[in-house]
Amino acid sequence: MAEPTDPRRTVARPGAISLVLTGFAQCLKWLILSLVFSILIEWIGMAFWWEEQGVAHSRQMLVNELQFLGADFHRSWLTAQPMQFASDLSERFYTIAFEWTGLIDLIQWVTPVPSSEESGVRPLLHQLYRPVADYVLAGMQITQVFAVRLAILALATPVFGLFTLVALVDGLVRRDLRRWGGGRESSFVYHYAKKAAIPLIIMAWVLYLALPFSLHPSWIILPFALAFAFAVTITASTFKKYL
């Protein structure tokens, strides 16, 4: 026999620490997915699209990203030295991903051509590594490109904040005009605009981080910042008239 449910029973809601940890885990998940996707796209491109360039394609991407950073990010609200910030972040990524894991030591051990008398596992590993050496090097360079792009996105974050502030003020003004003018209230538009705001930021980060070619960050950041601001305006303007 089923037990009667208690109508007074309340559903436990996650606390502030749980929400912060969940948000951090979600951000880390999307960053890792973007990095893996960008490396896979680079490998596929080396095999089918830019065969002639090979590993030089990822090297040129790194040079282009550094040029974008040096040309257009002389100052930032987050740091007084954007180039140094990006360089430190790229170096930290390189250290964690390749030095701490021992991948650099393994590559340096496997790369030299073994002598004819040498036996053991190294000659076998050398034979396995030689066909994919360029792909491994390209993956390492794409990881550095990823770090530079992550630094650029971090430096451009105040743009989203500025657009959000303007959009919020505009939306609240529209809400007051609707409230005192007797305008209709649409919860349908409000909920869909609210749900679209955060995915726009995620899409901007994932798209730019995984882009398989060099593109000025303004072509990614500004359109998504405008779209996010539009969603914030709609959300604020369609918020219920009476609290």
Quote the pLDDT of residue 74.
64
Both tokens assigned to 164? 């959000």
Measured in whole angstroms, the distance separating CA 201 from the mean position of its chain's CA atoms is 9
225 vs 99: CA distance, rounded Å: 36
Is the Cβ–Cβ distance between 144 and 91 less than 8 Å? no
Within 13 Å, how many C-alpha atoms sit on residue 171's CB side? 22
Q: Among all chains, which residue has been given the structure tokens 């601001």?
A: 229
DSSP 184: P
What angle (nearest 5°) sits at the alpha carbon of residue 76, between those of residues 75 and 79?
A: 105
Residues 221/208, Cβ–Cβ less than 8 Å: yes
pTM higher than 0.85 for the full model? no
Euclidean distance between CA atoms 25 and 222, whole angstroms: 26
Long-range Cβ pairs for the range 161-166 (8 Å, 24+): 163/225, 163/226, 163/228, 163/229, 164/228, 164/229, 164/232, 166/229
The tokens describing 210, both together, are: 């995984």
9 vs 151 pLDDT, higher one: 151
- pLDDT tens digits for range 42-83: 888 888 887 777 778 888 888 888 777 776 666 666 666 777
Tell me which residue of 220, 239, 240, 223 sits closest to 153, measured CA to CA. Answer: 220
Q: What is the pLDDT of residues 72-119, one digit of tens each?
A: 666 666 666 777 777 777 788 788 878 788 888 888 888 877 777 767
Highest mean pLDDT among 70-74, 173-177, 190-194: 173-177
Report H helices in the chain: 16-48, 56-72, 82-94, 103-110, 121-129, 133-181, 187-209, 218-237
29 CB contacts (<8 Å, ≥6 apart)?
A: none
Residue 2 zone, left/alpha/beta (φ > 0; ψ -120 to 50; rest):
beta
- More confident: 104 or 196: 104
Q: Which amino acid is at 218?
A: S
Residue 109's contacts (CB-CB under 8 Å, 6 or more residues apart) are 122
User: Are the beta carbons of 233 and 167 closer than 8 angstroms?
Assistant: yes
Q: In this prediction, what percent of the chain has a pLDDT beyond 90?
A: 0
pLDDT over threshold 70, residue 7: no
The pLDDT value recorded for residue 1 is 44
Q: Which of 190-194, 198-202, 235-239 has the highest mean pLDDT?
A: 198-202
Non-local (6+) Cβ contacts of 240 within 8 A are: 185, 187, 190
